Amino acid sequence: MALRPLRILGDPVLRKKSAPVDQVTDEHRELIEDMYETMHANNGVGLAAPQVGVSLRIAVLGIPEKGKKVLHVTLINPEYSNATGTQDDDEGCLSIPGVYDGLKRYAKLDVRGLSEKGEAIEFTCEGLFARAVQHEVDHLNGMLFIDRLSVLRRQRLKKELKSIEESYTDLSAATARPRRD
């Protein structure tokens, strides 16, 4: 297992729709292990493959439960349906460090996809679990939570978001390798 660098706002991989996984391989399982390690090292409750630079429809969740247990769920090619109710709570993202804002999401939904073993899984979730699933599916579709905020709320965060994007630009320029033609 290895920590992978997080991609932050400004990285084009975060805005690209991820490709489905046709068959789960050992390479995918290694990516999933790395994603769990990276998510936990950054105190996250979810992480999508694009957040570590891989444009595949894979997400991992680590939902805290009562008694300090953490429910780990791997979702490959996830979809949700039968979304009902609403919940309004603060949301943040490992790819947009330090930015949090209130966001309305569905309260309960049915989820289906594949496990890390390539087996079909289906379940119903609610609360933080449902919020995390929706957040990660958005990532797989090239969408960030800030895209769901009202224009007024995004305007209020404009300075912070610009600063994060500029830090990405500065970082990518510093790590860019010169072309050798």
Strand, coil or helix: 160:
helix
Instruction: Give the DSSP per-residue string, 55-87.
Output: -BSEEEEEEE-GGG-EEEEEEEEEEEEEEEEEE
- The H or E element containing residue 25 is none
Could you tell me the CA-to-CA distances from 166 to 5, 47, 159, 171 in Å, in that order? 17, 23, 11, 8
Euclidean distance between CA atoms 78 and 83, whole angstroms: 14
Burial of 52 (C-beta count, 10 Å sphere; 0-12/13-18/19+): buried
Q: Which of 37, 91, 122, 136 is an active site residue? A: 136
The answer to whether 165 is a known catalytic residue is no
Euclidean distance between CA atoms 109 and 84, whole angstroms: 6
User: Which two structure tokens, joined as six digits, stand for 90?
Assistant: 């603060």
Residues marked active site are found at 136
